[in-house]
Amino acid sequence: MRIISTPGEMSRLARAIRREGSGRHSLVPTMGALHEGHVSLVRAARDGSTIVTVSIFVNPTQFGPNEDLARYPRTFEADCAALQGLGVDYVFAPAAPDMYPDGFRTSVHVDGLRDRLEGQVRPGHFDGVATVVLKLFAIAQPDAAFFGRKDAQQLRIIRQMTSDLDLGIEIVGCPIVREPDGLAGSSRNAYLSPDERRAATVLSRALRAAADAIGRGIRASAEIVAAADAVIKAEPMARPDYVELVDADTFDRVGSIERTALLLLAVRIGSTRLIDNAVINVRDGEVNVER
Ligand code: PAF
């Protein structure tokens, strides 16, 4: 496994991979502090690709002024050891001044999707994500890129950008990986104290309550959201930012379940903000919930 630390070196390598027709090159963009969710992305990428590159870059432009950029966990050595064991070919780990040199002026906005839900609570977040992902795509020139479905709005925005800009990169969304007690894998779980860690299961419990309501035949959003809300309200350490049922394509709120929808949660546990979601699939009148 080779570690590449400059965009110039990575693009030279990417051009050589293309020129030599070396086979399918997959990119797994990450901010490091790797957990089982990332491992599943790398495994999915490894399976069916000739070359796998993982990028590790804590992207400053996707953090708001009062967010956790400074304290975001950085575990580069351990990350590299894990990636080596997973058979990764290249780790691209650029420094921020090389990604955003003085005079950098460009920002990517995916209108209509960037300023609601996560984007409303975290203004500018998705512009930062779209900009860095487009840069990573331009530098690494992958055939495919792998993202977790936990960040559902991010995945939707990256798909839209890739299609709008004809990037010709296959975007693969991978299932959420959960701890045995249901907590979704996140680098931010490292911030939780033992009590907060216990309270954090409220997100997956809320999704389960909503899934149970759907299983009982409830289709009205207000009732499904209320089932999830009741679980969150019963947890004293939890403060919800939002609990919303939205159309999986437009991210508009829906009144009832008629086509594929997403139940999205953002909840603060102490000073840690966690997100989670469930996909509500509707096929031939059958509804099933994927968490
Ligand atoms: O999901 C993440 O870790 C980040 O948002 C991403 C896609 C690597 C962009 O910085």
Query: Which distant-in-sequence residues (6+ apart) come within 8 Å of 8 by Cβ?
Result: none
Pairing of strands 286-290, 272-283: antiparallel
Long-range contacts, 246-250 (Cβ 8 Å, 24+): 246/117, 248/156, 248/279, 249/156, 250/112
Q: What is the pLDDT of residues 130-166, one digit of tens each?
A: 999 999 999 999 999 999 999 999 999 999 999 999 9
209 CA distance to ligand 1 centroid (A)?
A: 29
Position 225 pLDDT exceeds 90: yes
283 — pLDDT class (breaks 50, 70, 90): confident
244 CA distance to ligand 1 centroid (A)?
A: 22
Mean pLDDT of the chain: 97
Residue ranges of the chain assigned to CATH 3.30.1300.10? 187-286
| % of the chain with per-residue pLDDT over 90 | 97
Residue 91: how many CB atoms within 10 A of its CB? 22
Determine if the pTM surpasses 0.75: yes
Which residue's CA lies nearest to atom 5 of ligand 1? 129
| % of the chain with per-residue pLDDT over 70 | 100
Evaluate: CB of 29 within 6 angstroms of ligand 1.
yes
Q: Is 85 exposed, middle or buried (0-12, 13-18, 19+ CB in 10 A)?
A: exposed
Matching residue, tokens 């921020």 = 96
91 CA distance to ligand 1 centroid (A)?
A: 15
Instruction: State mean pLDDT over 243-263.
Output: 97
284 — pLDDT class (breaks 50, 70, 90): confident
Which residue's CA lies nearest to atom 9 of ligand 1? 129
Q: What fold, for 2-174?
A: Rossmann fold (3.40.50)
Which residue's CA lies nearest to atom 8 of ligand 1? 30
Q: Can you read off the two tokens belonging to residue 39? A: 């491992």
Q: What is the pLDDT of residues 241-252, one digit of tens each?
A: 999 999 999 999
d(CA 252, CA 244): 9
d(CA 105, CA 71): 26
Cβ 291 vs Cβ 211: under 8 Å: yes
211 — pLDDT class (breaks 50, 70, 90): very high
Q: What fold, for 187-286?
A: Pantoate--beta-alanine Ligase; Chain: A,domain 2 (3.30.1300)
Residue ranges of the chain assigned to CATH 3.40.50.620? 2-174
3-state secondary structure of 186: coil
286 — pLDDT class (breaks 50, 70, 90): confident
Active site residue 38: yes
CA triplet 56, 62, 68: central angle to 5 degrees? Answer: 85
